[in-house]
Amino acid sequence: MSSFKYELVNFTREGMELKNTWIRMSEQEKSMAMKDYPFDKPFEEVIDDLIRWRETLDKNDNL
């Protein structure tokens, strides 16, 4: 496994943990966390997109 792929696996694993924590947060906590949020998509969608990207790279085992 390349170092990039290894780090991407770790990154998406942490992303899933963040998503699970996000789901359990109150609306007030989410509102505060969204201040200066840098992405155009909702947080959960960003994480899901990262996971799909990693899965696509997993199918293409050239990395």
CA dist 17 to 9, 11, 14, 58, 60, Å? 13, 10, 5, 20, 25
Tens-digit pLDDT profile for residues 8-37: 999 999 999 999 999 999 999 999 999 999
Tens-digit pLDDT profile for residues 43-54: 999 999 999 999
pTM above 0.85, yes or no: no
Do the Cβ atoms of 16 and 10 come closer than 8 Å? no
CA dist 56 to 25, 59, 61, Å? 30, 5, 9
The whole-number pLDDT of residue 62 equals 65
Task: Report the length, in residues, of the chain.
Answer: 63
Do the Cβ atoms of 16 and 23 come closer than 8 Å? no
